Amino acid sequence: MNCPNCDHLESRVLETRVHKDGEIRRRRECLKCKLRFTTAEALLVQFPHVIKKDGRREPYNREKLRRGIQIACKKRPVSIAEIEAIVGRISSWVQANGDRELNAKLIGQAVIEELRKMDDVAYVRFASVYKSFRDVNEFVESLGKEPRASAKKPGSQEI
């Protein structure tokens, strides 16, 4: 690591901290000019490519997954921490899968399962877009086939 002041190549690590998200921060001191500075390191993780419905392949995008879940949970009593937990679990599963390519349907189904456990309305919103129904009857029929995983929450209204 080059010193930001004198560009010297050698520095001494004074302190190392590991954050929850895997980022490593190191407090360093330049051996030449004695300037103290902080560096941030992150583990590089190789995610698979996602095979879309139309056959296109694109790199797995954690941010795209987060946005889709956030849209489904908009104006719902779902915290950012809960959304981050879902994104974390699904991303861990995608990475642990070990395949170089993964079908988007599998990721979508994982999101549906997570949302079904958490919030009925968010689940219905995501499922309606994900499954791209042709008409209302097909949508209602699909919902009738799938059992509800959670009981009605206090203060919530029927859909």
Rounded CA separation 40/1 (Å): 11
Rounded CA separation 126/138 (Å): 15
Query: What is the per-residue pLDDT across 40-60, written as a single tens digit (0 to 9) for each?
Result: 987 767 788 999 989 999 999
Handedness of CA 39, 45, 49, 52 (dihedral sign): negative
Query: What is the per-residue pLDDT across 5-27, written as a single tens digit (0 to 9) for each?
Result: 999 999 999 999 988 767 889 99
Q: What is the pTM of this model?
A: 0.60
List the chain domain ranges: 11-41, 49-145
Position 29 scores a pLDDT of 96
Residues 97-126: b if buried by 16+ CB within 10 A, e if exposed: eeeeebebeebbebbbebbbebbbbbbebb
